[in-house]
Each structure stands twice: as structure tokens, then as C-alpha cells.
A and B are shown apart, each in its own frame.
Chain A
Amino acid sequence: MKYSTMPERREGPGDPMPKPGPTEEGGGPRRPETGSPEKDNLLKRMKKVDPKQAERYRQRTGE
């Protein structure tokens, strides 16, 4: 069976799933060096988190 395609959803013709670039080959990010800007940015973001938010997050069981 053949079905119509959705060209307006696809950024690159004929390549719906972007392939990982050379820097991502075989894995995710490099492990940042201690004190690197990227790790500093992530740590800054983590330090802004409200330490009590897990206590405040009172959810019901769903489904």
C-alpha cells in the first residue's frame, strides 16, 4: 500500500530523520571537562531548582 507523504512536515527532502553529525557519531555529547562553560551553565540551572519542589509535587495516580 502507498500513502501520501507530508512534505510540509519534512525539512530536508528525502531525509526525514536527520542523521547524527560527525561530532555525534557513536554517542551523545562529550563528557564536559570539570569547570567547562557548558557544565557551569548546567550547574547554574540545577542550583536554581527549588529544593522543596519534590515535596510540593503531590500527584494522584492516573491512567
Chain B
Amino acid sequence: MLNRIFGLETEYGLLVHQDRPEHSPTWFAHKLRDHIFNVQRRGVLDLHHRGHDEPPGNGGFLANAGRIYLDMGHVEYASPECNSLTDVVASDRAGDRMLQQAINDLGWADQVSLIKNNIDHETDATFGSHENFLVTRRFPFSRRGLAPLVTFLITRQIFTGSGRVGSANPQDAWVQMDRLIVPRAALGHGGGGAQVPFQISQRADHIMNDFFEWVQQNRAIVNTRDEPLADPEQYRRIHLLLGDSNMAEYATALKLGTTGLVLQLIEEGHAPRGLDIREPVETLQEISQDQERQWVVRLESGETISAIDLQERFLAAAQAHCAGQDEETDWVLAQWEAVLQDLRGDYAGLVGRVDWASKLWLLESYREAERVQWDDPMLKSLDLEYHNLNRDKSLYDGLVEEGRVPRLTTDKAIDLAADHAPKNTRAFGRGELVKHLLACGSPSELIEPKTDERLFPAYVINWSIFQVRGRMPFPMTDPFKTYVQEIRSHLAG
């Protein structure tokens, strides 16, 4: 779609179903990784230091050219580079499936659950769902150039949010106000007040800045780290960390598709202007926590406008400039319009397509049946269960089983995406490399150096380059190229 490369990185939570577990979630995460690489042989573990927190063996590339690794104690899956929404949805679900299959193989299905969410209600910990979009180096990556993107991102949560019970502890939260970082509790309104029963976004409470380059603290609406993982003279990677992990395939596709179109509008100079939001971070949180779902936004111009109206401005620009360019674009435009129209009505009409709506509908059904209040702790447990990767337990999959969720991929396509890389990006070549290395021998045979080759590991693989021991480095700086014939020749030579 859109001559664009997409990728998703997902950190999973790990729930141990025991009162006094013998092992920590991190212990289980290590065992899961080892099982995936050493027993299931889905990929090859890194043999080199990728960074200070990524020692050899911490993770590795998969046969589908994505990665599984441990990050801050979490299992994380990065999809391969995808050139279509179809592929990125299938590749994202493939990560879910690989991890759940590992749990099943280990006989842990009753003991451990992987939760594809972004928050811990009790500790206020947060963990990410990061989106990657490749743009040209000509993209106007300045505060002014990015202003339309900020407005779009703040308001897209009305159809991309996964929803949550309650809010992060406001006493611990800091927020950007007028270019200053201040305690949210000091504001005396918005997120600084009492706990809200339910809000539409998981991550909004944890975003502190409009622009910043770090990811672990001071998370920003737009992450400004310049790490293209490609030729830096041709490309820039837009790395977003404000979004929620989506269970609905439809929401994943719409999130990436609409954002891709807005990036295209900015690149081509067609993005709507004059829609800068006054106090972007505070507005992000106010929209998420608005119990009336009016989602009113104040612009720098002083005008007030609803988030739906703002989204319709972006939709109109995309319809005018992008319609007809390919099938996926037209799908995105049609569904974007339909969702915005439906958001003006009863939220129950969005169940199955918009995660927060599905979750709220389930929670309201439970509250009605069991006559419980919003402060009942069971609701937080139900919130988690919506995101369980175990299909026998997941509340999202309960909706799927009832035929109430539109699918955008198939189980067969997901299985293919677990074993094979997309064939129209750099991932194809990397997938061939990983399969070649897997065919070379067992993990121990791969790792054990020959006596005269102890100074260099058997292989080093990164997103944009690899080297196999005894051969020259092989750069892959263009994510749109498959490099597959060159890599086959390189490995055979």
C-alpha cells in the first residue's frame, strides 16, 4: 500500500496464574524464548551484542524475518518489514500465534497467559506497541512539518484505542504544559482528578511530551529518534509509541492505514493546516478520559472542534488526494469514513471493529448481569482477559467465536506469515538467510566457533546488514528491495 513500508513491535505482558508462583514472569519469558529458538527452531539467536541491554542470546531473527527478543523483562515481537496492510496484519497475528503455540507446547496453557495489552492496572507499569513507517528523507521532520501529524495522532484514538478500566495513578504522572513538564496532579482537572471508570486509550496516560527521542521516559506523541534502519540519505523511519496494542485486525489495519495516508498527505504537501491543538498532551488525555465521549478539542486558533470533525478534515484531504491509488487505500478511505460516521452514534455499533468499544460493551454487559459497580476489581481482570492470546480464554476471541468480528486475514495466512517473510520487501532476503543458517546445523553447531575463527561469531544479523563468518558484510539499505537473488548467490559462493 502507498509505496510504504510498515512494521509493528509488540511487548507482551506475562500473567502467571498462581498465588505464590515459583518463578517470575521474566523466568517464563526466558524459557519461552529458548523454546522458540532452540526447540521449535523458528529462528536463530543473536551471537553478538546488539546493545547494552541486548547481549548475545537475548533474542534473534525468525524465518519470517521478524524478531523475538526480551526487552525490560517483556517478550517482544517485531514484525518483518511489510509493504501492505494485508501482510502487516497477518505478520502481527503470526507473532501472537507463535508465542501462544510455544506456551501450548510447553504445557503451560493453564499456568501462564500472554496478554497483548499495554498497562498493569496495579503497578501503573506500561509497555509498548510501536509503529514504524518508512518515509523519504524529504519528509518535513520539523515541529511545523509534523503539526498535522500531531493533531491526527491525538484524535485517532477514538477508533484505535483499546480502552482500559481506570487511569494511571495521577500522582505519579507528569505532563507537558506550555513547553514545561509539570506534575499532572498540579493541574487540578483532567487527569489530575479522581479515577475514571473507563477510558478509550491505554497509553494516553503515559505520554508526557509532544516530541522527544527517548522511549522509556518522557514518552512523546512523536518519537524523534533518527534511526532509519535503512539508507539515511534516502529514508527516515517514523517511530510512534503512543498507540495501543490492538486485538481487532480491523483496528490494526485502520490504525496503520490512516496514519500511512496522513504521512503521505504531509509528504505531498496536502495535509490540512491550521488545526494545531492547544496543549496537545493534555488534550490526548482528556479525549481518552472523556466519559461523555464528546471529545471536544481546543485549537491554537481558539476554535473548539470535535475529534470526529478533525478526523473528517484529514479524511476529506485523503479522499481528495489519495483515492484510487490502490485497493488498500480505497479500503482505508471507505472504512475510515464508516467508522467516523458510526462514532457519532451508539458505540455498540462499533463492537468488533474498535477495541475500546468491544471492551466497553463486554464490561457493561457483565456489570448489568452481575450488578457490579465500576470499582469492582473483577472489571480489571476482565479488561486483561480481553487481550489474552489464549483463544479459549480471550474475551476478544469470544466475540470472534460469536461471529461478531470482521476478519481481515485468515488462519491460513497467519500460519504462512509465521513461517515465511513477505516476498516484496527486504524481509524476503533476510528470511532466506535465516532459513539457510537453520539448515546449517543445530544451535550449538552454529554458535561453536572453529579454532581459527574465534574472533568473529558465525553470523551477525541486523535489520539493514548481515555478515556470515568468512564472508564480506552484506548491506541491505533499501527496505523496498528483496535482495533475495543476491543473498542466495552470496551464501552459495
Tell me whether B490 is interfacial, beta carbon within 8 Å: no
Q: Is the CB of B127 within 8 A of A57?
A: no
Q: Is the CB of A11 within 8 A of B125?
A: no
Question: How close is B22's CB to chain A, nearest CB, in angstroms?
Answer: 14
Q: Is the interface of B mostly helix, strand, loop or mixed?
A: mixed
Residues of the A chain whose Cβ atoms lie less than 8 Å from the Cβ of B219: 63
Q: Is the CB of B406 within 8 A of A61?
A: no
Question: By the criterion of a CB under 8 Å from any partner CB, how many residues of chain A are at the interface?
Answer: 46
Question: How close is B343's CB to chain A, nearest CB, in angstroms?
Answer: 10
Residues of the A chain whose Cβ atoms lie less than 8 Å from the Cβ of B423: 4, 6
Q: Name the one of B15, B338, B362, B408 contacting A17, with C-beta atoms under 8 angstroms.
A: B408
Q: Is the CB of A15 within 8 A of B327?
A: yes
Residues of the B chain whose Cβ atoms lie less than 8 Å from the Cβ of A4: 423-424, 482
Residues of the B chain whose Cβ atoms lie less than 8 Å from the Cβ of A53: 15, 17, 381, 384-385
Nearest residue in A to B379 (C-beta to C-beta)?
Answer: A54
Question: How close is A47's CB to chain B, nearest CB, in angstroms?
Answer: 8
Q: Name the one of B14, B349, B377 contacting A51, with C-beta atoms under 8 angstroms.
A: B377
Question: How close is A23's CB to chain B, nearest CB, in angstroms?
Answer: 9
Tell me whether B492 is interfacial, beta carbon within 8 Å: no
Q: Which of B357, B362, B407 has the most CB of A within 10 A?
A: B362
Question: How close is A13's CB to chain B, nearest CB, in angstroms?
Answer: 12
Question: How close is A40's CB to chain B, nearest CB, in angstroms?
Answer: 9
Q: Is the CB of B383 within 8 A of A8?
A: no
Q: Name the one of A17, A29, A48, A55 contacting B352, with C-beta atoms under 8 angstroms.
A: A29
Nearest residue in A to B361 (C-beta to C-beta)?
Answer: A31
Q: Name the one of B120, B348, B413 contacting A57, with C-beta atoms under 8 angstroms.
A: B120
Q: Is the CB of A46 within 8 A of B87?
A: no
Tell me whether B83 is interfacial, beta carbon within 8 Å: yes
Nearest residue in A to B414 (C-beta to C-beta)?
Answer: A9
Tell me whether A22 is interfacial, beta carbon within 8 Å: no
Q: Is the CB of B480 within 8 A of A28?
A: no
Residues of the B chain whose Cβ atoms lie less than 8 Å from the Cβ of A51: 377-378, 381
Asked whether A1 and B402 contact (CB < 8 A) given A59-B13, A63-B215, the answer is: no
Name the interface residues of A3-59: CB closer than 8 Å to any CB of B.
3-6, 8-11, 14-20, 24, 26-29, 31, 38-39, 41-43, 45-59
Tell me whether B40 is interfacial, beta carbon within 8 Å: no
The complex places the Cα of A50 from the Cα of B380 at a distance, in Å, of 10
Tell me whether B100 is interfacial, beta carbon within 8 Å: no
Name the interface residues of B325-362: CB closer than 8 Å to any CB of A.
327-328, 331, 338, 341-342, 346, 348-354, 357-358, 361-362
Residues of the A chain whose Cβ atoms lie less than 8 Å from the Cβ of B11: 62-63
Question: How close is B69's CB to chain A, nearest CB, in angstroms?
Answer: 12
Q: Is the CB of B382 within 8 A of A46?
A: yes
Q: Is the CB of A46 within 8 A of B413?
A: no
Question: How close is A29's CB to chain B, nearest CB, in angstroms?
Answer: 4
Tell me whether B216 is interfacial, beta carbon within 8 Å: yes
Q: Is the CB of B382 within 8 A of A9?
A: no
Q: Is the CB of B125 within 8 A of A60?
A: yes
Q: Is the interface of A mostly helix, strand, loop or mixed?
A: loop
Question: How close is A7's CB to chain B, nearest CB, in angstroms?
Answer: 9
Question: By the criterion of a CB under 8 Å from any partner CB, how many residues of chain B are at the interface?
Answer: 90
Q: Is the CB of B480 within 8 A of A57?
A: no
The complex places the Cα of A14 from the Cα of B346 at a distance, in Å, of 34
Tell me whether B452 is interfacial, beta carbon within 8 Å: no
The complex places the Cα of A9 from the Cα of B87 at a distance, in Å, of 8
Q: Is the CB of B120 within 8 A of A59?
A: yes
Residues of the A chain whose Cβ atoms lie less than 8 Å from the Cβ of B382: 46, 49
Residues of the B chain whose Cβ atoms lie less than 8 Å from the Cβ of A1: 3, 480
* Interface membership of chain B positions 80-91, coded 1 if the CB is closer than 8 angstroms to chain A and 0 otherwise: 000111110010
Q: Is the CB of A17 within 8 A of B253?
A: yes
Q: Name the one of A5, A20, A43, A58 contacting B365, with C-beta atoms under 8 angstroms.
A: A43
Asked whether A9 and B127 contact (CB < 8 A) given A16-B86, A16-B328, A57-B384, the answer is: no
Q: Name the one of B90, B342, B366, B482 contacting A27, with C-beta atoms under 8 angstroms.
A: B342
The complex places the Cα of A52 from the Cα of B128 at a distance, in Å, of 24
Q: Name the one of B17, B74, B338, B381 contacting A54, with C-beta atoms under 8 angstroms.
A: B381
Q: Is the CB of A61 within 8 A of B126?
A: yes
The complex places the Cα of A45 from the Cα of B342 at a distance, in Å, of 28
Interface residues of B (CB under 8 A from A): 3, 11, 13-19, 25, 71-74, 76, 83-87, 90, 115, 120-123, 125-128, 130, 215-216, 219, 241, 253, 327-328, 331, 338, 341-342, 346, 348-354, 357-358, 361-362, 365-366, 369-370, 377-378, 380-385, 393, 395, 398-399, 401-408, 410, 412-413, 416-417, 420, 422-425, 480, 482
The 3 closest A-B pairs by CB, nearest first: A62-B127, A29-B404, A27-B349
Q: List 8 A-B contacts (CB under 8 A).
A: A3-B424, A9-B417, A42-B395, A54-B383, A55-B377, A62-B11, A62-B128, A63-B72
